[in-house]
Structure 1
Amino acid sequence: MIDGPVTGGDHGWAFGRPVVDLAEHGYVEEEFFLSGDATTYRRIEGTGWGRDGRWHAEPKGTQPFTTRMLVYRPADPRRFNGTAVVCWNNVTAGYELFHGETPEILEGGYAFVGATAQRVGVHGFAADPQGLAAWDPQRYGMLDIPADECSYDIFAQVGRAVGADRDTSGVDPLGGLDVRRVIAMGASQSAARLATYVNAIHPLGRVFDGFLLQIYFGAGAPLEGGDRTVSPAAGPGPARLPRGANLLRELDVPVMVVNSELEAIACHGVRQPDTDRFVTWESAGTTHVAVQAQALRNRKYEREFGVAPPLSERMNRIAITPYYDAALHHLNRWAGGGAPAPGQPKIEFAGDEPTVVRDEHGIARGGVRLPQVEAPVATNSSVPVSTDFAGALRGSNRPFTPEQLDALYGDEAGYLARFEAATQRAVEAGVLLPRDAAPAVAEAAAEYRRARAAHRTPIGG
């Protein structure tokens, strides 16, 4: 059952909503509650659960649930491109992280659906709960997800609720839009759950027409149990995350894995070749959370919780959202029957225990070459400044000295000429969309000046 649109509450807005004005982009934002019985699953006795991704699951039981979905859709149906993107909201922080207001979504005419699929999203961690029910009891107090075993079917039910064959006789979350395809998207911990969905649940009945796994560490999540969520309190970062376990199975819909340098390291042991239904991108010089993404998260966190978390100037400074947008653009075409996403070079590794091969500047060789690594003003990498959970995900940024910049580029004009040429190559390779070229160049000019100033005023944080 779907109820909504939901309004009111202690705060008067939906948790995690955009910081941009969606109306200025011609979009409507509405929140809905979804209630029902979620099927839980178990591995079929006697079958493997190995690295080939040929996983076999069967229904185990059902549990009642009530959850929410936050929808952004074009106000004018003529602007709708026919695709609903369903995002598995990430709960690693103890509250939901998701980002559906990217240029590709808003300018491309997609509908975006942020799906609360896991228990932590509603109930938070036991210590200092920041989930929906604690944040706004009046608005979200009736929500309940009893266990993460329910998450796979909850996510599928959200997909069906916005799909082409949805029941529009009652409350329609998409306001009558003519949906032609539904793409599932999840990042980090949510990508692990999507991997399990692809391998074990998707073969039981098709709901989604494509899958986008962002910053995926190369392992699935449990079907049964598995309520212990990876969190900042779990200790050091990637070493505590699930790694090197499973590949995806043979596919009947397209799947893209879109990784930064950090997850390419974790996934090295389970790399699989690109096919006509599967493509992996690995971006050199990037990491799990860059400063641009963290700054946006901080704006939302300050609005929701009243404080601004610290923002480290030493963390990686290569924006990754334009890279994600390019992947979604290709996957949408691919899922609609068009050309597959273009394959890309992989990051270079060497040694018995493979390590990233780096150039004279400390920048990874190979992989997707965004202009910030082709025309660098700093060493951006996944190498962390600190080994705490957050630091391990944020990588590092080490500005070049003025002498290095002069030797490489001569002056700012020379640098920008090189950067613009690198930007054009990225556009031609398909890893950057034309709309993102000018903003990248503008940011590059600011980064050049920041690098020159860094050695006059040491960067802290």
Structure 2
Amino acid sequence: MTYSRIAWFCALLLLAGGKEAVADIEHVKKIPAGEREIYNAAEVKGSPVSVNLAEYGYVEEEYFVSGTASSFDYKDGSLVVHNKDLPYVTRVVVRRPEDMATFSGVLHVEPEHPSKGNTSHWVAMQHFIIDSGDAYVSVGSGNDPRQRELTAQGEFPTAQSDIAKWYDPERYKALQWPADDGIRYQVISDAVHYFRTAHVANPFNGALPDVAIAGGWSFTGSFWRTYVNYGFHEKFAISAEKPLFDGYLVGISSRWNGLGVLPLNADIDKDGMDNPVRDLRPVNVPVIEFLTEFEVGEGDGPQVADSNKNPGAHRLYEIGAVIHGDQLLMDQGGDRFNRGQLIQLYRKGYPKEADALAECQYPLSDIPQGPYARAALSNLREWIVNVQLPPHAQELVLDENGQVLRDHHQNPLGGMPVAEFAVPLASYTTDAEPQCQRNGRPAMLRKNFSSQQLQAMYGNKDNYLKAYHDYLDAMVRERWVLESDAKMLKNKMADLATDAFAGKGE
């Protein structure tokens, strides 16, 4: 949506009467790309998950944001300053319509991951964001103790605050980040507040975002739970009536996982599972949590119930036969080795991680995590923008040991409805063989049925595809999968079914 003169005047009023913290931004400078490629750019040659923004009428801009920010403690139910006014220079990447008259007014916000500045939310959601006419901002938000340790030990940094400078020392020499990563909550709040209000250097001037949706996966999912639970949502609101963030998508991070809530500052360790601050706190905007079988199995305590109430609007979506983010980019041809910023690093001599599953006899699970994640974001967006309630999902069914129960095909019971479980071509399970483990944990694998089994179950390929299409069409109607993703999944399944009924891959 474009803004009327009245809305523009209201934005100026917000600037005059908004929160104090934005004053801690001292400078926002646009950094022209020139001959130098932006680190973790939207388009990187050789990466299947990159996108040419110009083809869609979008532009990519990089800004250096400098200022001071504080880290915090939590005492007696309130935030108090821990380390005050630490200087920083971080980078912010903006992707938006070139013609802001076509901007929807919805801004998606993601903190960069401590490991190499990954931005999984963008890569998984990029086509949904573009198709919706939305905009996107990523903010460099510091490190974690593990990435700091690895960076200090080795020649090749992994920490978010160091990796861009390693990639291009000249372009990124100005970046600066303190030892206390706890400033991240104020840094991202100040940056988003800046982009939501009128400033000379704001690329959204004339079409200020009406809605900001926070999203993150794994550590950055925990970032947003921490942000909500400790009260940053209220602390950094634009005003008492207008939140800075209008909704949160918390991906692959459970309250019951070790880092489901992050330490507030550099001087405290992660908290215990019995800390009530881990429980999702009701706020005045909706929150959707998206978990895989891995997070559920790693911590099987009770989850927050679905609710339509405000405050406390909430949905919990769980998907089986997926381990963390392994399948998040698979539908786009992405894996853990071919993301854009990794291709960039490899070209500079950065060592490539070995494929731990190269010798496993089974392929990795291909359950379409990405399409379900996009539908979750779409449902959250509709909840915020059009007040359309999202569907409810069953939780995964657990046994007495907290592990996911499986049906007679060895596929998971419960969770979001998945066509690959309802009309299966394979079992989706782990395997105890050492070559089928990754980073000390089992990988979720696809174990194909024989052609004889498939013929006994379905008769022939055409019967199977009709059943699959019918189920997928129902999921589109029920808003579990977007129509564009359903079309892609049907095309993919046509090839898989042809091979399966021919006995390939048995």
Bigger Rg over Cα: 2
- Structure 1 unaligned regions, length at least 5: 48-54, 230-240
1:90 matches 2:120 = no
1:216 matches 2:242 = no
**Cα displacement string for residues 382-415 of structure 1 (whole angstroms, at most 9, x for unaligned residues):** 7787575547374222122212221222222111
* One of 416, 422, 430 as aligned partner of 1:374: 422
**Cα displacement string for residues 257-296 of structure 1 (whole angstroms, at most 9, x for unaligned residues):** 0122222323530411111211111113333233562642
CA distance in 2, matches of 1:194, 1:394: 26
Change (3 A) 1:388 1:254: same
Partner of 2:484: 435
Partner of 1:125: 151
1:296 matches 2:334 = yes
Partner of 1:51: none
Partner of 2:321: 285
CA drift at 1:366: 1.1
CA distance in 2, matches of 1:150, 1:305: 30
CA drift at 1:358: 0.5
Range moving further from structure 2, 34-43 or 303-312: 303-312
Partner of 2:185: 152
1:148–1:226 contact (8 Å) kept in structure 2 = no
Partner of 2:289: 257
- Structure 2 unaligned regions, length at least 5: 1-26, 44-49, 238-243
CA distance in 2, matches of 1:79, 1:114: 21
SS at match of 2:248: strand
Change (3 A) 1:388 1:90: farther
1:84–1:162 contact (8 Å) kept in structure 2 = no
CA distance in 2, matches of 1:259, 1:91: 20
1:23 matches 2:54 = yes
1:262–1:382 contact (8 Å) kept in structure 2 = no
CA distance in 2, matches of 1:318, 1:62: 46
> Which residue identity does 2:28 align to in structure 1?
I
CA distance in 2, matches of 1:447, 1:184: 35
Q: Which TM-score applies when normalising by structure 1?
A: 0.85
Change (3 A) 1:65 1:445: same
CA distance in 1, matches of 2:107, 2:432: 36
2:63–2:93 contact (8 Å) kept in structure 1 = yes
Change (3 A) 1:175 1:204: closer
**Cα displacement string for residues 225-247 of structure 1 (whole angstroms, at most 9, x for unaligned residues):** 17999xxxxxxxxxxx9978622
1:261–1:284 contact (8 Å) kept in structure 2 = yes
Partner of 2:364: 315
SS at match of 1:3: strand
Partner of 1:13: 38
CA distance in 2, matches of 1:36, 1:393: 44
SS at match of 1:349: coil
1:80 matches 2:103 = yes
Range moving further from structure 2, 243-252 or 279-288: 243-252
CA distance in 1, matches of 2:102, 2:442: 37
SS at match of 2:441: helix
SS at match of 2:120: coil
2:423–2:468 contact (8 Å) kept in structure 1 = yes
Partner of 1:185: 215
1:414 matches 2:472 = no
Change (3 A) 1:269 1:396: same
1:261–1:286 contact (8 Å) kept in structure 2 = yes
SS at match of 2:427: strand
Change (3 A) 1:438 1:37: same
SS at match of 1:137: coil
> Which residue identity does 1:255 align to in structure 2?
V
1:261–1:381 contact (8 Å) kept in structure 2 = no
> Which residue identity does 1:3 align to in structure 2?
K
1:269 matches 2:291 = no
1:114 matches 2:147 = no
Q: Which TM-score applies when normalising by structure 2?
A: 0.78
Partner of 2:5: none
SS at match of 2:413: coil
1:5–1:32 contact (8 Å) kept in structure 2 = yes
1:139 matches 2:165 = no
2:106–2:211 contact (8 Å) kept in structure 1 = yes
1:290–1:318 contact (8 Å) kept in structure 2 = no
2:142–2:184 contact (8 Å) kept in structure 1 = yes
Partner of 2:20: none
CA distance in 1, matches of 2:224, 2:307: 19
2:499–2:505 contact (8 Å) kept in structure 1 = no
What's the RMSD between the two structures over aligned residues?
2.9
> Which residue identity does 2:135 align to in structure 1?
A
1:205 matches 2:236 = yes
**Matched ranges for 1:162-173 at <5 A:** 162-163=195-196, 166-168=197-199, 170-173=200-203
CA distance in 2, matches of 1:86, 1:32: 15
Change (3 A) 1:139 1:439: same
2:461–2:501 contact (8 Å) kept in structure 1 = no
CA distance in 2, matches of 1:370, 1:354: 21
**Cα displacement string for residues 105-161 of structure 1 (whole angstroms, at most 9, x for unaligned residues):** 110111011221113699872222141111111111211221311111112122212
**Matched ranges for 1:364-403 at <5 A:** 364-381=412-429, 389-390=438-439, 392=441, 394-403=443-452
Change (3 A) 1:304 1:452: farther
1:405 matches 2:436 = no
SS at match of 1:185: strand
Between the aligned residues of both structures, percent identity stands at 24
Report the count of equivalent residues: 431
2:42–2:53 contact (8 Å) kept in structure 1 = no
Range moving further from structure 2, 131-140 or 290-299: 290-299
CA drift at 1:428: 2.2
SS at match of 1:274: coil
> Which residue identity does 2:30 align to in structure 1?
G
**Cα displacement string for residues 89-113 of structure 1 (whole angstroms, at most 9, x for unaligned residues):** 2234x44243425321110111011
CA distance in 2, matches of 1:341, 1:98: 23
> Which residue identity does 1:411 align to in structure 2?
N
> Which residue identity does 1:33 align to in structure 2?
F
SS at match of 1:4: strand
CA drift at 1:198: 0.5
CA drift at 1:186: 1.0
